[in-house]
Amino acid sequence: MTSNIRQAFDLVGEDYPTPSATPARVSFSLEKNGIAVRASVTPDYFDTHVLPVMTRLLKEIDTPAPKAQPEPEAAPPKFRKPATASVRQVVDILSAQSGPELLKAAAVSLAVIQNLPVFTREHLFEEAEKAVGHWRKSHSNSADEILKYLLTSGTLVERGDGQLCLNHAEEKAAILALRAAHLA
């Protein structure tokens, strides 16, 4: 091997150092947490300063790391709260654009998504107003006429106590549309 090193020095054009010309040095390299240190020091300095630090670091590496706290497991699927669709998603799935279609989508959201088969007029209008970007001020101005139209067409049914519910056939059709979109 020494002859290979001499040949390398000859190629570079430098003289190969003789053993008496090179002082005794200890080369070392330390790396921890992505920080690397490489140095060459005298044997005395190495014994008094570097070796104790290296020994301590090697002990740290040998010592197993403390166990991390296990992450809490997610709730089993049957106990997870199912993701619910917003009224805006229902409006998009049912392609609701007109006032009556938007109010019907709000009724579907209440009856199917929120599992409230019976609701008040106020609750229905509040749900329709959540369809931001779809429900407009003009719809609010004619909300009573829109509701009257849905009642006379049979889309919504008014119970004796003044509460509303979605027609059974309309509810079934909405459930099929929502299932096709994987929301029910």
pLDDT given at position 81: 44
- Taking Cα atoms as reference points, which of 170, 145, 171, 167 lies closest to residue 158? 167
Q: State the pLDDT confidence band at 54, using cuts at 50, 70 and 90.
A: confident
Q: What is this structure's pTM?
A: 0.54
> Which residues, in sequence order, are CB contacts of 2 under 8 Å at separation 6+?
none
pLDDT digits (tens, 9 = 90+) for 117-175: 999 999 999 999 888 888 888 888 888 899 999 999 999 999 888 899 999 999 898 88
pLDDT exceeds 60 at position 106: yes
Average pLDDT, the chain: 77
Parse the chain into domains and list their residue ranges.
22-59, 83-180
Instruction: For Cα atoms 99, 141, 127, give the angle at the middle one, nearest 5 degrees.
Output: 55
Burial 20-43 (b: 16+ CB within 10 A, else e): eeeeeeeeeeeeeeeeeeeeeeee
Q: State the pLDDT confidence band at 26, using cuts at 50, 70 and 90.
A: confident
Percent of the chain whose pLDDT exceeds 70: 72
Count of C-beta atoms within a 10 Å radius of residue 98: 10
What is the CATH architecture assignment of 83-180? Orthogonal Bundle (1.10)
pLDDT exceeds 60 at position 73: no
Q: Once rounded to an integer, what is the mean pLDDT over residues 3-25?
A: 53
